[in-house]
Structure formats: C-alpha cells, structure tokens
Amino acid sequence: MYLQLAMLPPVNSDILQEAAEPYTNVELKTAYIPDSFGTHHSKMLILFRHDDLAQVVIHTANMIERDWRNMTQAVWRSPLLPLKATTPPASRSNIRPFRIGSGERFKVDLLRYLAKYENKLKGLMQQLVDYDFSSIRAAFIGSAPSRQKPLAVKSAVETSFGWLGLREVLSTIPTIPTQDSTAFSPPSIVAQISSIATLGQNSAWLTHFQSVLSCHDITSNLRASDDTSFFDGPPKSRTKGKSKAPEPTLNIIFPTAHEIRTSLDGYVSGNSIHTKIQSPAQQKQLEYLRPILCHWKHSDEAPPIRTRREAYRGPAAPHIKTYIRFSDAEKTRIDWAMVTSANLSKQAWGEMENKKGEVWIQSYETGVVVWPALFGEADSTAMVPVFGRDIPTAEDESGGPGKEGGLKQETVVGFRMPYDLPLTPYKADEVPWCATLPQIEPDWMGRTWEGY
C-alpha cells in the first residue's frame, strides 16, 4: 500500500518518525518543497492487493482520527485495476495522446504527478505501469511545485498542473444548457472548501480563477450530437453554437463561527478550517468575497423551506473540498464535479501568469473531475445531486421535493452532495470562521476558543 500524508515539513517529521518506528512495514518519505509557503497537501492511497488487483483512492481527509470520525470528507475510488496482459517497455518519449477522462489519460497524468517526487517513488511508478487503467472514467488533476509556461504545455498528451490543467480538462467537457438556462437562471459554480488563503487585496486572482472554472467545450452550446460521445473517441468536426450561453455565477461555501461552535467537535473542528480576516489587506479581501459567501449549513432559526434538499452533513464540520458546476440556478443538474485536496489558494492552483510567462505552483495536491458524458452519450446522460444517499431517486431526477416530471436521459448518474440546497448567503454582518480570532461564546460543549 502506498499512502500520501498531508504534512507541513519539517514541523511534524519527528513526530511521524517516532510514530512509525514500531511498524516495520511503514516507510516514510519526505516530499521536497522548495517554497516556504508550499505544503504537501495531497491525500491519496494506492492499494496493491494479494489478488493482483490495484486501486487508486483520492480523498480529502488527513490521517488523523478526528478527520475520519467527525468531519465531512469525500472519497473517490477507482475501479479495481487488473494487471495488463502484456507490458510494453515504458517510455515518456512516446506517450500516445489519450483522451482526457479516459483511464489511459488518467494513468499518464498520475504517473506524471508521481514523477515530481523524483527517485523517491520510482519503484511505485514501475509497479503501476503494469496495471490496466482503462476502466477509469475520470480526469486526474494534480499540483506539484513547479513553474509552468502556458505556451509550452503538451496538453494533447498530458495534463498540466494547477489551474492550467483544470482549464485543459474543463475545456473538453460538453455543457448542455437546460431549458431554464437563461439570464434569469444561469449555470452556477459552487466552490466548497475548508481554507481560503491570501488571494490579494483586489479580486484579480479570483476573477481569473472563476474564468477557469467557467471553461467548457465551446461547441456544446448546441444540443450535443453523437460526436460528443465519450465512447466514440475524439470528437469530429462540429458547428459552434449560434447563441452565447449565459456565464456561470460563483458562490463559495465556508462556515461561520456559529457553524463551528455547533459542529460535532465544537471549536476543536476549527483547527482544520482556515482563513484570516484581521489585517486591513485581509479585510479588503473579505469585502469582495462577502457577496458570494454562503453558509455550510442553514441556520437552525431559519423557517423550514419546503423545497430544501438536505445532505444531513451540517453538524459534521467541512474538511471536504468540492467544486461543482450546476446547469441552472436551481442546481438540479450537474455539468461537472470535482473532489480535490486543493483549497482556494494560489499555492494550490498557481499564481496568475507572470511577466516571464510562467505560472508558479508551490504545493502538492491531488483531485479528480467527473462529468456525465464519461458514462454515456452526452445528450442521453445526466448527472444529478443526490442527498443523504448514493443512488438517485425519482425525486432527485425531478429536481427536488415538490417538482414534477423526470429526466428524459437514458442514463442518470448521482453525485452525493455534502451540503444542503438551496444555499444560504451570508448576512451583511457575518464573517467566516477565523481560527486565529478568540471566541468568547461557548460551543455546545461549554468551551471557549482562545485563538492561535
């Protein structure tokens, strides 16, 4: 088994070494981090089984008990991967241009990410080469300390790191507008994260990142044809849509102090959830974030909404990170969904392109993106949000309680939601949870918070 731990070296290295000493089957390897603000933040398991099957597991939890017990997390598991019948010699110089979203491309991108650890993971990479990834239906999104030149990327054969790679992936995804996708009901993107880093006193970086999240296959403004089928290989020549689809809105889900103090672990949960709002520069960042901030859970005092779709995760504070594009403002259909270790930060996704034409990434991250066309033809497959269960029901397909009708698509894929819908925006006087600020109001266990 190969396990990646999120870690801030060198602070925890001695503690980890001491904890690992009793276990002869545990070997610790340190990731090289060249920048002081970078972190090793990836969370991934690669399992090799006694029956010669392997599995890749990408998740959002650190390897500590509280993360797995009392916080909301996400796990993506690959199918069980068999050994290949034959194993041709591996060479990065003759990589074939596999389609984004295919298992073969996933393997190329995973191996490229692992190569950033240099010789430390050479044995793991050689072992993975022998496995057949063709059953995977997802795109791998990674980040690793690097300086990338957008004009020099090889997106046809491998996915870039950070926002460059995310743009490459999202630009291939067909988005089929619903009948309600108008200026009054545009598509919407929801970023739900457990940390908001320093993004800048103005919204330039966030605006740029929103433009990345808004990317899609520009030929999909028309109802997708059979040429967009994932299973038919690369798309053939298509005509661009005549009418421009409305631009997606953006919301960010982040808990307030009230949501932390009423969570399962009370203020202790706040140790894993971070943003800063004290300095004048941080206050300026809060000014442009506040209009798009939404609560992790709806207020207990709010009157019940008959059409609310409940995920039943509210008391388990969020350490999960998801980015989802919904087809419409009511969020009844999903264009794509991403589970990742990457929070809202320049270190994770990369700075904007600098004067040298470079994008600077400081941290290690791992994630996956899925979308409907991976599981069938684009015009006959839909992905819907699912609440409190894993399998879509007729209610999920109709868009929630009180809605009538169902989907015309032959294949319906469910994505289990970590938060309730509709979203609850922040009030004018509300601020995000800030772990460095003291809280004198006791949590539900009677404890106050001194900050740090």
The tokens describing 364, both together, are 């290690």
Whole-structure pTM value: 0.90
Nearest one of 239, 378, 226, 401 to 309, comparing CA atoms: 401
Q: Would you list the domain boundaries of the chain?
A: 175-416
Q: Dmax over Cα atoms in the chain, in whole Å?
A: 66
Which mean pLDDT values do the consecutive 10-residue runs of the chain (452 residues) have?
Answer: 52 74 88 93 96 98 93 98 78 74 98 95 96 98 96 94 98 79 79 97 98 89 44 45 74 98 97 96 97 89 73 96 96 97 98 95 98 90 94 86 67 95 95 97 98 89
Determine the pLDDT at residue 408. Answer: 67
Q: What is the dihedral of CA 411, 416, 421, 425, to 10 degrees?
A: -130
| β-bridge pairing 317-318 and 2-4 | unpaired
| β-bridge pairing 75-77 and 322-326 | unpaired
d(CA 353, CA 350): 9
User: Exposed/middle/buried for 420, CB within 10 Å: 0-12, 13-18, 19+?
Assistant: buried
Helices (H), 61-159: 65-70, 103-115, 122-128
| Half-sphere exposure (Cβ direction) of 340: Cα atoms closer than 13 Å | 31
> Residue 5: which residues within 8 A CB-CB, separation 6 or more?
16, 40, 43, 62, 63
Percent of residues in the chain assigned helix, strand, coil, to nearest 5: 25, 20, 55
The tokens describing 294, both together, are 């939404």
Contact (Cβ atoms closer than 8 angstroms) between residue 190 and residue 320: no
Determine the pLDDT at residue 298. Answer: 80
Determine the pLDDT at residue 225. Answer: 39
CA-to-CA dists, residue 23 to 10, 16, 17, 184, 433, angstroms: 21, 12, 10, 59, 38
For 189-209, letters b (16+ CB in 10 Å) and e give bbbbbbbbbbbeeebebbeeb
d(CA 426, CA 290): 7
Determine the pLDDT at residue 49. Answer: 96
The tokens describing 367, both together, are 């994630």
Domain 175-416 top-level CATH class? alpha beta
| β-bridge pairing 54-59 and 249-253 | unpaired
Return the residue matching tokens 């009392």.
70
Determine the pLDDT at residue 20. Answer: 85
